[in-house]
Homo-oligomer: A and B are copies of this chain.
Amino acid sequence: MQTTDEWSCGVSKVMDVFAGKWKLNILWIIYNEEGIRFNQLKNRTVGITNIMLTRSLETLTSEKIISNNLIGNKPPFKSEYYLTTKGKSLVPLMQSLNDWGKNNL
């Protein structure tokens, strides 16, 4: 039997990645639209505000789940978001979560 310590060790990290109201949703959108831009992401994430999107992207970037390219040195700027390799490894997990949710009311 797996001990509680081994368990909570692995799981708490994932829950940190998924924690919060928006991050998982944002990940999914970026996955489906690699290179998506800030304002597109904002439009696709219904109900989110600037600050919450910024904070979520900040956190995910610092966790190396996503990365972004800044293009241009004067306005209008461009910023394109991608999943990293680590981020892509989360995709099957997200799909499993989604499937469970759809099958259990």
Contact = CB atoms under 8 A, between A and B. Distances in A.
A8 B25 contact: yes
Contacts of A86: 104
A70 interface: no
Count of identical protomers in the assembly: 2
Contacts of A14: 97-98, 100-101
Interface residues of A, number: 37
B104 A93 contact: no
A96 to B, nearest CB: 6
A14 B105 CA distance: 10
A32 interface: yes
A54 interface: no
